[in-house]
Amino acid sequence: MRVWVAFLSAGLSCGLYGQVYNRLLTFKASYTAVQLDQQNIVSGFNDTSEFHHFELVTQMPYLAYNHEVLLGNVLSVTGNIGWQYLNVFYDHKPFGTQFFALSLEPKLCVFQRKKFEYYFKLKAGVTVWTHKKDLVDGPTRRLFPDRVNLFTGITLAGMNLFLNDNWGINCELSILSPEMVSLGMCYRFWRGDLPKIQGEEEEEEKK
């Protein structure tokens, strides 16, 4: 509890140094735990099966879009939608193994300057798979994820390095979620009426 209070206090004390914005859009590519799992499943199955064979032909990175809404100086919430395609064949027949992911991610910014942010995130979401599990028998089906799966995860280290007032580079390290290591571009902006600068209202009234 004391750690989170310290993080919150640090974020409140340094939040004033950042560019004024209340929206952050991120486009990123990730290396996922799913890729490791699929590699292990295919390798393990092929090592023990005499008559059937899996082949992992293509591994695309996980591609995602994040839309973040700031709730205050240090707290925000992010909506994430992502997709990854892993081209798997079973006995020379397309098996698929692509999946879609949706998640909601509360975020705590613990260090912020005009061109740099460091943060943590919680992740809660769902993955939807489109693989053709009817091609394989019961025991083999259990090796692969169900059609719909829930997950929770944590971003242990997230960073935004801004190149100017709007554009920046994003990178994250996460566990227990589809994404493990992510790299992408982010864009920040203010949506709605800009907040009044302290003392500005009094000057306008004098005029």
CB of 113 closer than 8 Å to CB of 18 = yes
Per DSSP, the three-state class of 136 is coil
- Residue in 182, 161, 196 with CA at minimum distance from that of residue 18: 161
Counting residues of the chain whose pLDDT is more than 90, the rounded percentage is: 51
pLDDT of 193 reads: 73
* 151 has a pLDDT exceeding 50: yes
What strands, in cross-sheet order, belong to the sheet with 93-96? Answer: 54-59, 86-90, 93-96
* 10 has a pLDDT exceeding 80: no
Furthest-apart CA pair in the chain: how many Å? 87
Structure pTM? 0.79
- Which residue type occupies 193? D
CA–CA distance, 109 with 73 (Å, rounded to integer): 8
pLDDT of 4 reads: 40
Task: Kindly report which listed range (11-15, 80-84, 140-144, 180-184) carries the lowest average pLDDT score.
Answer: 11-15
CA–CA distance, 58 with 56 (Å, rounded to integer): 6
CB of 64 closer than 8 Å to CB of 80 = yes
Going from N- to C-terminal start, the domains of the chain cover: 2-45+53-192
- For domain 2-45+53-192, the question of CATH label 2.40.160.20 is answered with yes
